[in-house]
C-alpha cells in the first residue's frame, strides 16, 4: 500500500459566538481538510484549524504548503512508515506544524481503516475509553462569564477554564465571581495566553491562589522561559506551558529550566499524533503531567486528539476537546459522543468519523 495523492481544501465555519482570548477575538475558523488516498482504494481524512495569531499559520498558506511541499514529499510512501513520513515532511519544509498535522491525522485514519482498528490502538491502545472534559470560557463581561460557567456546570462539566490576560484586576475579580458562583467542587483553571509579564503574573496569581486554581496556563510570553520559571518558583499555583511548546526541543527546554509542571499537548500544534506521543514521553520522563488542548478544531481534529488522550497514560487532567461544540454545523457526518462533560472515544476503524459532504472551499 502506497500513498497515491493528497487533496486539501478550506472550509470556513463561523463560531456560534465570538471566543475572546488575549491574542484575538475569534468569530470563525478556516478549517483545512485533507484527504490522503492510497493506491489500493483507502482514504484517510485529517483536519487542522489554524489561528494565525497563535501559530503563525493561515488557511490559504497551509493549503499551498500541503500541495507544493508536503504532498510531493510523502506520495509513494507506505502509510505505515510513519517515522519516514514525518521525517519526509520535516525535510520538505521547516515548521508548518498544523499543515503537517492534518496529513498525520489522515495517515493514521487510513492505517486504522486498512486493518479495521481505531486509531487509539495504533497509538498504544486505550488506557481509558472516556475522556473527562473542561469547558473554556472566553474573556467577557462578568455576568456573561458567570452565566456560561453555570450553564456548563448544569450540563455536567466538572472543570472550567477562564481566559484571562488583559487586565489583572478584572481577571482576579472574574475568577472570584466564578468561584463563588460554581462552588468549591468545580475545578477551575486560568489561561493568560502570554498576557502578563513575570512581575505582573506573580502578584496576580498569588491573589488567585485563594480560589484553588488547578493551574495557570502560559502566564508570560512564550519565549520567556526564564521568566516563566521564575513565576513557577514564586507562586503556589502550578504553571502550564502551551505556546512555549511547539516541538520536542521546546519540551526539553521546559524540563531543563523547570518552567512548568504541566504541558498542554495540542496535537495540531505539535505536528500530529506521532510527534505528540514523543512530547508526552518527554513529559512523563520528567514527571510532568499533560492535558490535551484544542485549536477549536471541528469533528475530525477533535476526534483525532481524543484518540491521543485515550491512549496516553500521562494525560492527567481534564481535556479541552470542545472545539466541535462551538459550531452550529460540522465537517463530519457522525455526531461525537460528548455528554455530561465526558467524551466517549469511537471504537470503529480509523478515527471513526466520516466527512458529511463534499465541502466547498478554495
Active site residues: 163, 266
Cell numbers found for residue 294: 484544542
Q: Is the dihedral of CA 191, 195, 199, 204 positive or negative?
A: negative
Which residues touch 212 (CB under 8 Å, ≥6 apart)?
179, 184, 188
Helices H, strands E: what count in the chain? 13, 13
- φ, ψ dihedrals at 239, nearest 5°: -110, 135
Helix, coil or strand: residue 226 = helix
Q: Which of 178, 182, 187 is nearest to 134 (CA)?
A: 187
Alpha helix (H) ranges present in 235-288?
248-257, 273-285
- The H or E element spanning position 203 is helix 198-208
Q: Which of 72, 6, 9, 70 is nearest to 43 (CA)?
A: 6
Maximum Cα–Cα distance across the chain? 60
State in Å, rounded, how far the first CA of the chain is from the last one. Answer: 29
Q: Hunting for cell 504541566 — which residue is that? A: 262
Cell numbers found for residue 51: 489561528
Q: Which of 25, 58, 59 is nearest to 193 (CA)?
A: 25
Q: Hunting for cell 484527504 — which residue is that? A: 35
Q: How far apart are CA 56 and CA 296, in angstroms?
A: 16
Cell numbers found for residue 307: 484518540
Distances (CA, A) of 117 to 43, 230, 321, 353: 15, 45, 22, 13
Amino acid at each position: 500500500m502506497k500513498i497515491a495523492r493528497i487533496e486539501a481544501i478550506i472550509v470556513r465555519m463561523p463560531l456560534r459566538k465570538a471566543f475572546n482570548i488575549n491574542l484575538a477575538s475569534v468569530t470563525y475558523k478556516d478549517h483545512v481538510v485533507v484527504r490522503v488516498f492510497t493506491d489500493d482504494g483507502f482514504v484517510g481524512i485529517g483536519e487542522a484549524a489554524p489561528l494565525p495569531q497563535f501559530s503563525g499559520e493561515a488557511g490559504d498558506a497551509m493549503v499551498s504548503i500541503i500541495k507544493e511541499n508536503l504532498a510531493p514529499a510523502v506520495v509513494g510512501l507506505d502509510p505505515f512508515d510513519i517515522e519516514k513520513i514525518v521525517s519526509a515532511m520535516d525535510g520538505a519544509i521547516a515548521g508548518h506544524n498544523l499543515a503537517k498535522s492534518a496529513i498525520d491525522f489522515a495517515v493514521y485514519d487510513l492505517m486504522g481503516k486498512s486493518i479495521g482498528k481505531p486509531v487509539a490502538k495504533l497509538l498504544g491502545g486505550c488506557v481509558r475509553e472516556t475522556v473527562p472534559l473542561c469547558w473554556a470560557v472566553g474573556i467577557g463581561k462578568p455576568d456573561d462569564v458567570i452565566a456560561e460557567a453555570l450553564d456548563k456546570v448544569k450540563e455536567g462539566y466538572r472543570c472550567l477554564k477562564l481566559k484571562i490576560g488583559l487586565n489583572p484586576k478584572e481577571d482576579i475579580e472574574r475568577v472570584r465571581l466564578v468561584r463563588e458562583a460554581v462552588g468549591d467542587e468545580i475545578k477551575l483553571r486560568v489561561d493568560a495566553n502570554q498576557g502578563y509579564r513575570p512581575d505582573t503574573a506573580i502578584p496576580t496569581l498569588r491573589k488567585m491562589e485563594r480560589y484553588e486554581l488547578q493551574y495557570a496556563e502560559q502566564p508570560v510570553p512564550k519565549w520567556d522561559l526564564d521568566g516563566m520559571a521564575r513565576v513557577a518558583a514564586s507562586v503556589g499555583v502550578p504553571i502550564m506551558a502551551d505556546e512555549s511548546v511547539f516541538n520536542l526541543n521546546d519540551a526539553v527546554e521546559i524540563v531543563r529550566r523547570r518552567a512548568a509542571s504541566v504541558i498542554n499537548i495540542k496535537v495540531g500544534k505539535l505536528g500530529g499524533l506521532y510527534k505528540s506521543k514523543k512530547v508526552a514521553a518527554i513529559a512523563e520522563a520528567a514527571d510532568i503531567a499533560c492535558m490535551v488542548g484544542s485549536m477549536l478544531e471541528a469533528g475530525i481534529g477533535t476526534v483525532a486528539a481524543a484518540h491521543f488522550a485515550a491512549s496516553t497514560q500521562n494525560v492527567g487532567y481534564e481535556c479541552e476537546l470542545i472545539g466541535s461544540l462551538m459550531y452550529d454545523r460540522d465537517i463530519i457526518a457522525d455526531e461525537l459522543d460528548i455528554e455530561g462533560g465526558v467524551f466517549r472515544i469511537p471504537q470503529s476503524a480509523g478515527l471513526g468519523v466520516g466527512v458529511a459532504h463534499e465541502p466547498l472551499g478554495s
